[in-house]
Copies of this chain bind each other. A is one copy, B any other.
Amino acid sequence: MSELLLDRSRCSVAGTLAVVGEKWSLLVLREAFLGVRRFADFHRILGAPRAVLTDRLARLVAEGILRRVPYQDDGERQRHEYRLTRKGVDLYPTLVALMEWGDRYLAEDGDVPMELRHRDCGAPVHLTLTCEAGHTLDSARDVRPVSGGS
Complex interface bits, A89-113 against B, C-beta within 8 A gives 1, otherwise 0: 1111111111111111111001111
Q: Contact check: which of B21, B116, B127 meets A93 at CB < 8 Å?
A: B127
State whether A89 and B140 are in contact (beta carbons under 8 Å apart), knowing that A97-B127, A114-B148 are contacts in the complex: yes
CA distance A96 to B145 in the complex (A): 11
Q: Does A52 contact B (CB under 8 A)?
A: no
Tell me the number of copies of this protein. Answer: 2
Shortest CB-to-CB span from A87 to chain B, Å, is 6
Contact of A111 among B23, B106, B129, B148 (CB under 8 A): B148
Q: Which of B11, B112, B123, B129 lies in contact with A133, CB distance below 8 A?
A: B123
Other than the known A12-B112, A125-B130, what 14 A-B pairs have Cβ atoms closer than 8 Å? Answer: A4-B45, A10-B107, A13-B30, A13-B98, A15-B106, A90-B104, A93-B100, A94-B94, A114-B147, A114-B148, A119-B143, A120-B135, A127-B127, A128-B128
